[in-house]
């Protein structure tokens, strides 16, 4: 892992990604071997925005490695409220920890913060920007369920605003996947993302309906369509129903497809899917722990080396 900071999935080469995923697989195979990998290591948590699963899984990850956290707590209790700059805050907090994890509402903030600190910093989401560990755990889950080579994936839902989706799509260009994008016309991939994927030589197809291509997919990655994206609720309801899936559809059309979702979901995946073998989205969330353990292990290893 030759990177000091992990700001964007785009900075990771295929070799980098595989190094993390391989380490995560080792951890999954034998977690007991890692419980004392980094005794006493402290991970500083700087969440300038709420988060449940990302914060909890980073916390679990460092503790499963024998370390611990030092948490800034909610931003309304922090010195930021007293007018302190982000640069000052991170320079203070780096003195309390061996590595930092930061989530912040402003795009570009993680990159900026990383320039002020000497300890490794991991971006855990910077607004509309990047969230590289989500991408890594998505890739890990795809690899475990369908493999990353010769993959045919469908990515469905809000493709316009979905940070997670853009990042995953880009990362998959390292693996020559065929990517199908399924969304209402108004929530298609932004032109800039489409251009970017073409530049990387990706094989992509865009659709407004799932049904015609469902049978060809190894993985279906579903994201939420947010009500707020539509001018009125009737328009939302007209569209949203088209991008909801249930167990019956899956069983009838593609008995093998793995269904993923970054969670939380509302109603885009019916609860009757949960009990089927398609449903790997809880497993995907749980994979946040071994994948973040792997990343932290590689970064802290690099530090002490």
CB of 70 to its own copies, least distance (A): 5
Residue numbers at the binding site for its own copies (CB under 8 A) = 35, 39-40, 42, 44, 50-53, 55-57, 59-60, 63-64, 66, 68, 70-74, 76-79, 81-84, 87-89, 91-93, 95-97, 263-266, 271, 282-283, 285-286, 288-289
Residue 73 to residue 305: CA distance in whole angstroms: 31
CB of 81 to its own copies, least distance (A): 7
Q: Which is nearer to its own copies, 91 or 194 (CB)?
A: 91
Residue 214 to residue 249: CA distance in whole angstroms: 9
User: Which tokens sit at 128?
Assistant: 């509309």
Q: Which is nearer to its own copies, 88 or 233 (CB)?
A: 88
The CB density around residue 55, as the number of other CB atoms within 10 Å, is: 17
What are the residue numbers of the active site? 53-54, 82, 103, 131
Alpha carbon of residue 211 to chain centroid: 26
CB of 50 to its own copies, least distance (A): 4
Tell me the three state secondary structure of residue 179: strand
CB of 249 to its own copies, least distance (A): 20
Alpha carbon of residue 24 to chain centroid: 15
Nearest alpha carbon to residue 222 among 292, 138, 147, 286: 138
Q: Which is nearer to its own copies, 43 or 151 (CB)?
A: 43
Q: Which is nearer to its own copies, 57 or 109 (CB)?
A: 57
Beta bridge partners of 75: none
């Amino acid at each position: 892992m030759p990177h000091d900071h992990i700001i964007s999935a785009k900075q990771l080469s295929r070799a980098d990604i595989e190094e993390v995923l391989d380490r995560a697989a080792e951890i999954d195979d034998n977690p007991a071997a890692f419980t004392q990998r980094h005794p006493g290591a402290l991970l500083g948590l700087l969440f300038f925005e709420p988060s449940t699963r990302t914060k909890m899984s980073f916390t679990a990850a460092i503790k499963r490695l024998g370390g611990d956290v030092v948490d800034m707590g909610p931003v309304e209790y922090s010195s930021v409220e007293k007018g302190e700059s982000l640069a000052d805050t991170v320079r203070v907090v780096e003195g309390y920890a061996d590595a930092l994890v930061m989530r912040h509402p402003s795009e570009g903030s993680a990159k900026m913060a990383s320039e002020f600190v000497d300890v490794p910093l991991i971006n855990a989401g910077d607004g509309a920007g990047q969230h590289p560990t989500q991408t890594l755990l998505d890739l890990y889950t795809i690899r475990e369920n369908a493999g990353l080579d010769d993959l045919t994936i469908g990515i469905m839902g809000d493709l316009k605003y979905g940070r997670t989706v853009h990042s995953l799509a880009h990362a998959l260009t390292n693996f020559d996947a065929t990517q199908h994008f399924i969304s209402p016309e108004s929530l298609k991939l932004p032109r800039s993302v489409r251009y970017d994927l073409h530049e990387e030589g990706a094989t992509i197809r865009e659709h407004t309906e799932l049904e015609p291509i469902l049978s060809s997919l190894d993985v279906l990655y579903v994201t939420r369509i947010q009500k707020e994206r539509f001018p009125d609720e009737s328009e939302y309801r007209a569209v949203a129903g088209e991008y909801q899936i249930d167990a019956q559809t899956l069983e009838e059309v593609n008995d093998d497809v793995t269904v993923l979702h970054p969670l939380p979901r509302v109603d885009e995946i019916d609860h009757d899917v949960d009990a089927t073998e398609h449903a790997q989205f809880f497993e995907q969330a749980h994979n946040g722990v071994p994948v973040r353990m792997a990343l932290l292990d590689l970064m802290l290893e690099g530090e002490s080396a």
